[in-house]
Chain A
């Protein structure tokens, strides 16, 4: 069964840092682009970042450029999101998702990041 499990979320003060992880199983992780997508409380979906199979290409939404870093470890079947200089507007559930070329699937259960003092 294809599965994605996120971890690392929590409560952090503005300006703080968090590192999210996503453990993948049930498929050949190294063969797929991967993404982070977030959903603010009660809001819609927003793509955050994605990374090529070998990590050689990375892209970010403008609002997180210079603050967030996406990475992966294919030997560990894991995806990461290092989030620095966090702001209140970064508060959201963060999902990791596999690229299918035409959409995302599956999605993990998500991990909640709350930025508040």
Chain B
């Protein structure tokens, strides 16, 4: 199975300031079809996960443009340009390149 490793595990941020989360996979996430199936999920407190970003950098429907994704191969980053109070929660990276789909351990974003 592909292991997904996130850093940091906790990220205290000031409102209005940027935040960045890294995700590394144990092997390349480039699929044989040429796509890289790396996505980011947000889980607010008491809520189910919600898809934010898919295929590295594509924002899902309704996701604010302060969220952006980048990376390639085995190293990926989620950035929040200006953190708002509603962004508090746990963020997971996830790979859908190889079965079984696997998740990172999660990064908790909280306000300082």
Interface residues of A (CB under 8 A from B): 44-47, 59, 61, 95, 100-110
Contact = CB atoms under 8 A, between A and B. Distances in A.
Given A45-B92, A95-B48, A103 B100 contact: no
8 contacts: A44-B105, A59-B99, A59-B100, A101-B96, A103-B39, A103-B94, A104-B101, A107-B49
Contacts of B60: 105
Interface residues of B, number: 22
A107 B50 contact: yes
B35 A47 contact: no
B67 interface: no
A44 B93 CA distance: 11
Nearest to B39: A103
Given A103-B41, A103-B96, A105-B60, 18 more contacts: A44-B103, A45-B106, A47-B101, A61-B100, A100-B54, A101-B96, A102-B35, A102-B37, A102-B55, A102-B96, A103-B39, A104-B51, A104-B94, A106-B48, A106-B51, A107-B49, A108-B48, A109-B48
